């Protein structure tokens, strides 16, 4: 199934910069994406603001912000940005043309996805979500229409324009599809952080598995929002570990949802993944054998407290044995496998994390050897909090 392309309509440009436009891929509230041809003959996607938006300074700034976000995310998870012109009469960016349908088009045309293809899709989307968050970006508009099914797998696209379009739609009560994938906090005026992407990931997985979002999309905007905020999700026939993962990601409160890293590790686990809340620190088990998820248990010593991690859930740590200069902070340890290496990642809300000896990620221990030892420093404003950690596989 190829990417559907419509003929150009009256009023559409036939050329933008040096690119000849061949058809229309899709339009949102603020801009359109066209299939174009570069001077050398390569097919590309050309994303441009609507003519009216070109005279709107705020629209131009949002467009530029979306461009920066798209460039920050590793190319293997999204569409490559080839070039852009933000200063001309019609701002545009030229990106990789992915010849494949969106998830929305694929499910509407061929029906829901199940079994291994569904798990593969969910894992690819989770991997992209991790890459997006690692780049310091929150997508805020993850939905089936923004997941492209290319020849080499799923890509997450559209950073910026769709967000502005949906903000307008929320005021006008016109567009329905997007609201079904928005997290409850987005309707209460709260900032949409990474947890909103996790919620949207889960809602998108439900659509892929059932052909509809977990809270439906019928009725008016107010009805959809009410169901998202107050009702329980309808997961249909979604079963097994994936159902448990999705259910946890659809928690009403952002703080109760797992991180993208946890979602990815849970998707990579071979056995059952618990849907319940994680156990209290220090009560993760005694270690010894590889757990049900195929993850070797890891013993972590924080000061005089010992924790055993099994890689399927986050663990709250901190307190005893930590040097706290301002207040007692609690953090979260995530034990996961990523790109062939076992890692322990440290998260403390509202703190900038530094891991002594950290490699690829400044807040992550990479376990290249059976054990590791180091210091975690959490910076909160001008204050520093440190914790000593010893890591040892059981």
Q: What is the pLDDT of residue 38?
A: 95
Four-residue CA torsion sign, 51, 52, 57, 63: negative
In-domain check, residue 154: yes
Reply yes or no on whether the pLDDT at 18 is more than 60.
Answer: yes
Q: Are residues 262 and 303 in the same domain?
A: no
Burial class (CB in 10 A: 0-12, 13-18, 19+), 155: buried
381 or 138, which is more confident?
138
In-domain check, residue 156: yes
In-domain check, residue 229: yes
Q: Are residues 149 and 264 in the same domain?
A: yes
Query: Phi and psi dihedrals of 37, rounded to 5?
Result: -125, 125
DSSP state of 73: S
In-domain check, residue 133: yes
In-domain check, residue 223: yes
* Catalytic one of 85, 89, 141, 352: 141
Q: Are residues 125 and 218 in the same domain?
A: yes
Cα torsion for 249, 254, 259, 264, to the nearest 10°?
A: 20
Residues of the chain above pLDDT 90, percent: 36
Q: Which domain holds residue 132?
A: 103-268
Q: Would you place residue 358 in the very low, low, confident or very high pLDDT band (cuts 50, 70, 90)?
A: very low
Reply yes or no on whether the pLDDT at 278 is more than 50.
Answer: no
Reply yes or no on whether the pLDDT at 320 is more than 60.
Answer: no
Where among 230, 251, 268 does a domain terminate?
268
Mean residue pLDDT of the chain comes to 76
Q: Are residues 156 and 211 in the same domain?
A: yes
Number of domains comprising the chain: 3
CA count, 13 A, side-chain hemisphere, 176: 12
Query: What is the distance between the alpha carbons of residues 104 and 126, in angstroms, rounded to a whole number?
Result: 17
Q: 267 and 122 in contact (C-beta within 8 Å)?
A: yes
In-domain check, residue 3: no
H helix intervals, 5-56:
none
In-domain check, residue 9: no
How far is residue 314 from each of residues 11, 29, 93, 133, 358, measured CA to CA in Å?
Answer: 53, 39, 39, 17, 19
In-domain check, residue 276: no
Reply yes or no on whether the pLDDT at 191 is more than 60.
Answer: yes
Q: Are residues 312 and 222 in the same domain?
A: no
Mean pLDDT of 317-344: 59
Q: Are residues 115 and 252 in the same domain?
A: yes
Q: Which of 164-173, 179-188, 351-360 has the lowest mean pLDDT?
A: 164-173
Reply yes or no on whether the pLDDT at 230 is more than 80.
Answer: yes
Mean pLDDT of 241-265: 90
The yes-or-no answer on residue 141 being catalytic is yes
Q: Are residues 126 and 226 in the same domain?
A: yes
């Amino acid at each position: 199934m190829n990417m559907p392309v419509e003929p150009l309509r009256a009023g559409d440009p036939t050329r933008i910069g040096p690119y000849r436009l061949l058809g229309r891929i899709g339009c949102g509230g603020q801009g359109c994406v066209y299939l174009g041809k570069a001077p050398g003959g390569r097919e590309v996607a050309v994303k441009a603001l609507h003519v009216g938006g070109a005279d709107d300074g705020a629209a131009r700034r949002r467009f530029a912000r979306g461009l920066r976000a798209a460039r920050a995310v590793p190319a293997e998870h999204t569409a490559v940005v080839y070039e852009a012109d933000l200063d001309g009469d019609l701002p545009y960016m030229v990106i990789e043309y992915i010849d494949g349908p969106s998830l929305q088009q694929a499910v509407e045309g061929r029906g829901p996805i199940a079994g291994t293809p569904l798990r593969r899709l969910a894992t690819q989307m989770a991997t992209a979500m991790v890459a997006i968050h690692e780049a310091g970006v929150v997508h805020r508009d993850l939905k089936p229409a923004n997941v492209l099914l290319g020849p080499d797998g799923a890509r997450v696209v559209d950073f910026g324009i769709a967000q502005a379009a949906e903000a307008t739609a929320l005021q006008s009560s016109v567009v329905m599809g997007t609201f079904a994938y928005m997290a409850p906090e987005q309707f209460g005026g709260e900032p949409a952080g990474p947890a909103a992407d996790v919620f949207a990931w889960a809602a998108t997985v439900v659509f892929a598995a059932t052909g509809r979002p977990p809270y439906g999309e019928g009725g008016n905007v107010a009805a959809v929002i009410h169901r998202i905020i107050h009702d329980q999700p309808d997961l249909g026939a979604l079963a097994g570990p994936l159902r448990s993962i999705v259910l946890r990601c659809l928690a009403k409160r952002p703080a109760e949802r797992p991180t993208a890293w946890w979602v990815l590790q849970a998707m990579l686990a071979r056995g059952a993944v618990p849907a319940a809340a994680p156990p209290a620190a220090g009560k993760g088990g005694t270690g010894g054998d590889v757990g049900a998820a195929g993850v070797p248990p890891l013993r972590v010593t924080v000061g005089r407290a010992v924790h055993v991690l099994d890689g399927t859930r986050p663990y709250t740590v901190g307190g005893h044995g930590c040097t706290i200069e301002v207040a007692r902070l609690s953090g979260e340890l995530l034990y996961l496998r990523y790109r062939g290496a076992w890692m322990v990642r440290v998260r403390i809300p509202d703190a900038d994390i530094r891991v002594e000896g950290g490699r690829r990620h400044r807040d992550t221990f990479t376990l290249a050897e059976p054990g590791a030892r180091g210091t975690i420093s959490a910076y909160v404003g001008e204050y520093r909090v440190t914790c000593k950690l010893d890591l040892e596989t059981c």
